[in-house]
Structure 1
């Protein structure tokens, strides 16, 4: 018997859709934008975590923690790369 859908389950489904969309995006694109990829993965991990806090499944909750950490690392790396690119552009102009 399936439990009724509540708001937390629906939030989890949206998070799942984000993660699947990010995976499809990186698979389809030749040069995926890291901000779109990691931002979508982070949004998905956060939304799934909200759902899992209410409907606890410890292994999935731990997985989402790692998923979010990897996405945050990817975003930080993308921001550092953009800053380095901007600095090199500034040197080319001077």
Structure 2
């Protein structure tokens, strides 16, 4: 297992944990913790894809990170 695998798996764990907490009603999907979890998790998966590229995975993770990033920016602007 390479460092890229560890980073990618860590990102996957963060994204799945964020999703699980959202579904369980523990965190609000439109608040900072959920958006940050999605942004950081997708970013970590993208880092892993820089080592072993997969176009379809790169597209979905880029979209995931962009959407979460936009949400984080909107929250920052509201404050």
Q: 2:27 and 2:37 mapped to 1: Cα distance? A: 16
Aligned: 1:70 with 2:67:
yes
Q: 2:26 and 2:10 mapped to 1: Cα distance? A: 25
Gaps of 5+ in 1: 84-94
Q: 1:65 and 1:10 mapped to 2: Cα distance? A: 19
TM-score (norm. length: structure 1): 0.76
Q: How many residues align?
A: 78
User: Aligned Cα RMSD in Å?
Assistant: 1.5
Q: 2:48 and 2:27 mapped to 1: Cα distance? A: 32
The higher-RCO structure (CA 8 Å, 6+ apart) is 2
1:12 corresponding residue in structure 2: 8
* Cα shift readout 1:64-91 (whole Å, capped 9, x = no counterpart): 110000001111222233x2xxxxxxxx
Aligned: 1:60 with 2:63:
no
Structure ID, larger Rg: 1
Of Structure 1 and Structure 2, the greater helix share is in: 1
